[in-house]
Amino acid sequence: MAGLRLLNLTRESQLSWLRVVILSGIGILAFLSRLFSVIRFESIIHEFDPWFNYRATQKLTESGFYDFWNWFDSSSWYPLGRVVGGTVYPGIMVTAGIIHRILNALHFPVHIREVCVFLAPAFSALTAVAAYLLAGEMKDSSAGLLAAAFIGIAPGYISRSVAGSYDNEAIAIFLLVFVFYLWIRALKLGSAFWGSLCGLFYFYMVSAWGGYAFITNLIPLHVLALMAMGRFSSRCYVAYSSWYALGTLASMQIPFVGFQPVRTSEHMAALGIFGLCQIMAFTQFLRSLLPARTFQVLLQAAALLAFGGGLAALILLTTSGFIAPWTGRFYSLWDTGYAKKYIPIIASVSEHQPTAWPSFMFDLGFLIPIFPAGIFMCFQELRDEHVFVILYAVTASYFAGVMVRLMLTLTPIVCVASALAVSKLLDVYLKDSNANEAEGDPSSTNGDNAATQPAEDDPVGLISKMLGIPRHYVRSVVNTRWLVVGSIAWIMVMFAWHCTWVTSNAYSSPSVVLASRGPDGSQHLIDDFREAYYWLWQNTPEDAKVMSWWDYGYQIAGMANRTTLVDNNTWNNTHIATVGKAMSSPEDKSYDIMVKHDVDYVLIIFGGLIGYSGDDINKFLWMIRIAEGIWPNEVIERNFFTERGEYRVDDEATPTMKNSLMYKMSYYRFQDLYGGQQAIDRVRGTPIQSSKVKLTVVEEAFTSENFIVRIYKVKKPDELGRSLESAQTFDEGKRRRKTAQNKSGKRSRKSRAGSKKQSE
Amino acid sequence: MTLHRRRLPLAAILLCAVLLVFSSTVSGAPAGDKLDQLNKRLSSNPSSPITLSQKDYELFTSKPRNYSLIVVLTAMQSQLNCHICRDFEPELKDVTAAWARQKAPNTLFFGVLDFKDAQATFQSLQVRTVPIVYYFPPTASATGKVEPETYDVPRKGKDAEDFANWVEATAHVKIGYKKPLNYAAIFSALLVVMLVIVLGKLFSDNILWVLQNKLVWMALGLVFVIMMTSATMWNSIRGAEYVGVRNGQPEVIAPGFGNQYVVETQVVGLMYGLVSLSFVGMVHAREAKGVLGQWGPLVLLGIFMFLLSWLFAVFKRKNGGYPFGLLF
């Protein structure tokens, strides 16, 4: 303080400087705490979807904006292709592209990959600032600083914004919080400027993430609640109208959104409230002109007419098909059984599962138990902006309960509400109680004024009497003020540990590179995915078509640069079901499908050797289910279960299971690793079938070090017109010796991953 | 001796013949007889499924068959506690009734086999879950399929619509099931609406007071948020059990990070509420006067810290590797 005073600063500017320093500290911390994966592994794009975003960003930086905008990607969804420009939220790619261009213009020769990897941490620093502003509007800047600190390290947000997680959410959460801040600001000031700014950032949000629908519905809900509470004002009118008009027009410029804001049910609430705002404003205008009696009659008639007319029009337009009903993805949030029954592809994604309570504690730590306290305090004050917090909390907590993934939208409001609660507590207890005394309050809270009133029944007095220690000694230990503040500080330190631990253990794996620990604690990296994709890139023709389950489509396109049949943009369920059918059918049937789709290579993931549980045999049931949805008579899930309803891969497995292409490709030559002993699948924890797995329509092309990725080449049709099976039997009969020699030669080279005894 | 030796083959042949006749009566009555029997059974109550005994089941499912038979394996005894069996029963009746209205005799029959009547059959079929439906096609069918097909009710859906669709697809018949209009529900809905309007008119002042009362909204909002953040939705989506049982003892906390019981979430929700309550209490106790002001903060701090630590302890129990804890 003394140093600052030398700068001739007033107390006010000292405080604001302090705020700036703390806030930048929080921003830096938020950035740094997301770097675990870069330090442990390397600067690498994570998981699945980011690989597509990365590939699209590369396209953007290499061939320019207009090429990107009109990009038709013929190398995905073979043979359909995909109109990328029109089916993508371009916000994140354009953001990264602009940052890359600015850095290069400033002569920082940064590769686009580094920009993509570090985009999410950088934006989370901005999110902290946005949370500071939002919570500042609710209470004051000290609540703002707490909210910023909470959101900077809350695992619920880190889970989606670690370095390398180059996905839409990386920038969308910043935009979400900032749009809400601008909205509150516009509402408070009744300013068209802030409302327009809100509309502009809403446009940015729409361009970045499909979750913008949350804003599109929450702001109208807020306005509706204000109307119901009789708080509709010209400020509200100005803010909402400027946001809605500008934001909607701007959002329609995104090709993927297009005319949806006027044609789908998700957006109707915003439109309806916009109309209601006009009516309310008009009636208020009339009220000022007409006598009270006439006005009452007119108001009632107009309200009835407007409501009935609007509802009838909505129903008519929906049934006539002009307004699309709720899409399946949104509808499944209301009717939670819907997706499981009708859209298995949505139900199959693990992040679309409901949330169990430990996940809430895991992602938000101690913030979740005191979250209701924050909401309670909002109810106590209940200014317009507090109504917003309450509505946000109620809706977001429902969504987070239905889908693990939407924990992300809940996190900001939990941080803000809990920050309100904690800062209120700190306000009360950090206030010097001596000040109370000076004001002449005789019954000051913790009995400090022993001189004027020797209270015997307060905690300090009681303890000093019981132990026979003078009052002032006891008072220095049993000081309510410092006990409360100390406990809260301790809990917050714990929270920081909690967040660091969760981030480091759960959210920092790139999932492209796996890490395992040896018995001595040393780290061992498993890099099978990149090994296999590199092999594909180097050893296959450039126009080769690779068939794999949709999870790996983006990675194959991004890392191996090969054409895929299906990928993580799951827009065509039938095409995915085709792949599922090819995987789950017997070889001859699969072969027909693969030939029809020009498949050259088949890529599968197999974890049985090292116990990688996210492999294709575990995902197999979903492939079957999705295929069954389209061909219920050809793929039957029941046939993959034993009589007792078990899903088995050993000798007890059903013939359908054993004959399916996926099963065969997974376990082909797996036994060879065990040198005559029983082969054990370490994921399922069972031995596999004891007879040898035979493949006739595909041949093994590549298997990665730990057997995680296996690539098979689809054979060309037999030149003599025989079936591939009979051709193979014929060949084997003729050249048994030769193939046996070949195999043993290969085996000794491969077996280093298996048992060492065998090669000796 | 010689005589004896010569007669032996004759006796053996006789014995064989008798055995053959006998065994043929056991394993397969002529298909026509079975059809008559089935129709006789059906005639008493054509619109509901035939209740089968173990013997009936063996008789009617034996080959040859010139009819289709659908057998529902179920367990209606109350001590077996099979909710879905009881849910499925009326749906099955509706489908059977719809089939009876089609007036297509001798083609398809519905039967029910209860666990209490045919435990041996259940064991020999290795039935693990009930209700399960077996479809026995005619032995000389066009598709050439003779083996029974199954319909797993819990997995494929217990609604009459789903079941009827499956029957139509597998047996190649037209059931013509239509979901009946639920008149009771429509009338009760109308009644409720009218009641609401009448009551609303009568007690408009009181209702307005409730609607405009901040406390009511606050209670609703807080309870909703607490319920949601203690993962009530998981319970309803996954159909969680109310309380677990381990070694005969009731178990409140489910083992494992991704699992929970209903009672567990209720306890957790209550803890959230109490933690928040004590937190708010601390804020207000400091400004209170008298004994409350002196003792309140300390006591509430104690409660707050204790409950929060308890929550983290439970969390740690569910999440094995978690290293932290507050007080214990």
- Domains belonging to chain B, first-starting first, are 26-171 (3.40.30.10), 213-318 (no CATH)
Tell me if A375 and B259 make a contact (CB, 8 A cut-off).
no
Position A342 confidence tier, pLDDT thresholds 50, 70, 90: low
Classify B29 as helix, strand or coil: coil
Q: Which of A244-248, A292-296, A529-533 has the highest mean pLDDT?
A: A244-248
- Please check whether residues A463 and A590 belong to one and the same domain: no
CA-nearest residue to A442 within chain B is B289
Position B321 confidence tier, pLDDT thresholds 50, 70, 90: confident
The residue with greater pLDDT, A111 or A443, is: A111
Query: At B63, which helix (H) or strand (E)?
Result: none
Q: Answer whether residue A750 shows pLDDT above 70.
A: no
Q: Answer whether residue B158 shows pLDDT above 70.
A: yes
Tell me if B318 and A358 make a contact (CB, 8 A cut-off).
yes
DSSP A660: B
CA-nearest residue to A381 within chain B is B214
Over A562-603, what HEC string results? CEECCCCCCCCHHHHHHHHHHHHCEHHHHHHHHHHCCCCEEE
- Please check whether residues A603 and A693 belong to one and the same domain: yes
Q: Answer whether residue B298 shows pLDDT above 80.
A: yes
Q: Which amino acid is at A758?
A: Q
- Please check whether residues A466 and A611 belong to one and the same domain: no
- Please check whether residues A673 and A531 belong to one and the same domain: yes
Query: At A604, which helix (H) or strand (E)?
Result: strand A601-605
Cα of A495 to nearest chain B Cα, Å: 10
Q: Answer whether residue B94 shows pLDDT above 60.
A: yes
- Tally A–B CB contacts below 8 A: 182
Has residue A646 been placed in a domain? yes
CB atoms within 10 A of CB A648: 18
**Which residues are CB-neighbours of A615 under 8 A, at least 6 positions away?**
A605, A606, A607, A608, A666, A683, A708
- Please check whether residues A623 and A751 belong to one and the same domain: yes
- Please check whether residues A499 and A536 belong to one and the same domain: no
What is the per-residue pLDDT for A432? 65
Mean pLDDT of B269-290: 89
Q: Which amino acid is at B49?
A: P
Position A439 confidence tier, pLDDT thresholds 50, 70, 90: very low
Q: Which of A412-426, A586-600, B171-185, B229-243 has the highest mean pLDDT?
A: A412-426
The residue among A496, A427, A512 whose CA lies nearest residue A708 is A512
Q: Where are the beta strands (DSSP E) in B85-228?
A: 108-114, 132-136, 149-152
Residue A360: its chain B contacts at CB < 8 A?
Answer: 229-231
Are A356 and B231 contacting, i.e. CB atoms less than 8 angstroms apart? yes
Mean pLDDT of A153-172: 92
Tell me if B229 and A400 make a contact (CB, 8 A cut-off).
yes
Q: Answer whether residue A2 shows pLDDT above 90.
A: no
Q: Answer whether residue A739 shows pLDDT above 80.
A: no
Number of compact structural domains in chain A: 3
The residue with greater pLDDT, A265 or A436, is: A265
Q: Answer whether residue A100 shows pLDDT above 80.
A: yes
What is the per-residue pLDDT for A420? 94
Tell me if A397 and B229 make a contact (CB, 8 A cut-off).
yes
Has residue A26 been placed in a domain? no
- Please check whether residues A478 and A570 belong to one and the same domain: no
Interface test mutation site (partner B, options A227, A346, A357, max chain B beta carbons within 10 A): A357
The residue among A128, A137, A145 whose CA lies nearest residue A34 is A128
Q: Which amino acid is at B144?
A: G
What is the per-residue pLDDT for A475? 67
Tell me if A483 and B321 make a contact (CB, 8 A cut-off).
no
Cα of B305 to nearest chain A Cα, Å: 8
Cα of A429 to nearest chain B Cα, Å: 8
Tell me if B265 and A491 make a contact (CB, 8 A cut-off).
no
Which domain-ending residue is among A325, A343, A364? Answer: A325
* Burial classification of residue B292, based on how many CB atoms lie within 10 Å of its CB (0-12 exposed, 13-18 middle, 19 or more buried): middle
Q: Which amino acid is at B324?
A: F
CB atoms within 10 A of CB B8: 10
Has residue A187 been placed in a domain? no
The answer to whether the peptide bond before residue A541 is cis (omega within 30 degrees of 0) is: no
CA pair distance A517, A496, nearest whole angstrom: 26
Residue A375: its chain B contacts at CB < 8 A?
Answer: 221-222, 225
Cα of A299 to nearest chain B Cα, Å: 20
- For the ranges A511-515, B142-146, B239-243, B268-272, the lowest mean pLDDT is seen at B142-146
Q: Which of A97-111, A422-436, A624-638 has the highest mean pLDDT?
A: A97-111
- For the ranges A55-59, A411-415, B89-93, the lowest mean pLDDT is seen at B89-93
What angle do helix axes A11-32 and A112-138 make, rounded to 10 degrees?
140
What is the per-residue pLDDT for A339? 66
Position A329 confidence tier, pLDDT thresholds 50, 70, 90: low
Cα of B12 to nearest chain A Cα, Å: 41
Over A690-737, what HEC string results? CCCCCCCCEEEEEECCCCCEEEEEECCCCCCCCCHHHHHHHHHHHCHH
- Read off the CATH number of the domain in which A643 is found: 3.40.50.12610
What is the per-residue pLDDT for A743? 45
Tell me if B294 and A366 make a contact (CB, 8 A cut-off).
no
Which domain-ending residue is among A325, A358, A386? Answer: A325
Q: Which amino acid is at B220?
A: L
CA pair distance A424, B279, nearest whole angstrom: 10
ipTM computed for the complex: 0.83
The residue among A214, A131, A151 whose CA lies nearest residue A397 is A214
Position A477 confidence tier, pLDDT thresholds 50, 70, 90: low
Tell me if A357 and B264 make a contact (CB, 8 A cut-off).
yes
Residue B236: its chain A contacts at CB < 8 A?
Answer: 336
Q: Answer whether residue A299 shows pLDDT above 50.
A: yes
The residue with greater pLDDT, A755 or A324, is: A324
- For the ranges A217-221, A475-479, B279-283, the lowest mean pLDDT is seen at A475-479
- For the ranges A210-219, A624-633, B139-148, the lowest mean pLDDT is seen at B139-148
CA-nearest residue to A399 within chain B is B228
Q: Answer whether residue A436 shows pLDDT above 70.
A: no
Mean pLDDT rounded to a whole number for chain B = 80
Residue B129: its chain A contacts at CB < 8 A?
Answer: 645
Which ranges in A70-191 belong to alpha helices (H)?
Answer: 91-105, 112-138, 141-153, 155-158, 168-189
Residue B223: its chain A contacts at CB < 8 A?
Answer: none
Q: Which of B236, B275, B318 lies at the smallest CB-CB distance from A369? A: B275
Q: Answer whether residue A442 shows pLDDT above 90.
A: no
- For the ranges A428-442, A744-758, B67-81, the lowest mean pLDDT is seen at A744-758
Q: Answer whether residue B215 shows pLDDT above 80.
A: yes
pLDDT digits (tens, 9 = 90+) for A168-201: 998 999 999 999 999 999 999 999 999 999 999 9
Are A55 and A560 contacting, i.e. CB atoms less than 8 angstroms apart? no
CA pair distance B65, B49, nearest whole angstrom: 18
- Please check whether residues A596 and A730 belong to one and the same domain: yes
Has residue A253 been placed in a domain? yes
Interface test mutation site (partner A, options B134, B145, B214, B276, max chain A beta carbons within 10 A): B276
The residue among A166, A167, A178, A184 whose CA lies nearest residue A202 is A178
Classify A324 as helix, strand or coil: strand
- Please check whether residues A632 and A735 belong to one and the same domain: yes
pTM of the full predicted structure?
Answer: 0.80
Position A281 confidence tier, pLDDT thresholds 50, 70, 90: confident
Has residue A268 been placed in a domain? yes
Q: Answer whether residue B216 shows pLDDT above 60.
A: yes
* Burial classification of residue B323, based on how many CB atoms lie within 10 Å of its CB (0-12 exposed, 13-18 middle, 19 or more buried): exposed
- For the ranges A183-187, A474-478, B95-99, B192-196, the lowest mean pLDDT is seen at A474-478
Mean pLDDT of A543-551: 90
Tell me if A394 and B259 make a contact (CB, 8 A cut-off).
no
Which domain-ending residue is among A299, A325, A351? Answer: A325
Q: Answer whether residue B87 shows pLDDT above 50.
A: yes
- Please check whether residues A638 and A492 belong to one and the same domain: no
- Please check whether residues A571 and A697 belong to one and the same domain: yes
- For the ranges A154-158, A484-488, B88-92, the lowest mean pLDDT is seen at B88-92
- Please check whether residues A661 and A707 belong to one and the same domain: yes
Q: Answer whether residue A327 shows pLDDT above 80.
A: no
What is the per-residue pLDDT for A457? 63
The residue among A108, A120, A139 whose CA lies nearest residue A33 is A120
Mean pLDDT of A607-636: 85
Position A443 confidence tier, pLDDT thresholds 50, 70, 90: very low
What is the per-residue pLDDT for B310? 93
Cα of A446 to nearest chain B Cα, Å: 5
Residues of the domain holding A457: 448-506
What is the per-residue pLDDT for A266? 85
Mean pLDDT rounded to a whole number for chain A = 84
Name the residue with tokens 């909204």: B217
Tell me if B225 and A368 make a contact (CB, 8 A cut-off).
no
Q: Which of A398, A421, A429 lies at the smallest CB-CB distance from B228? A: A398
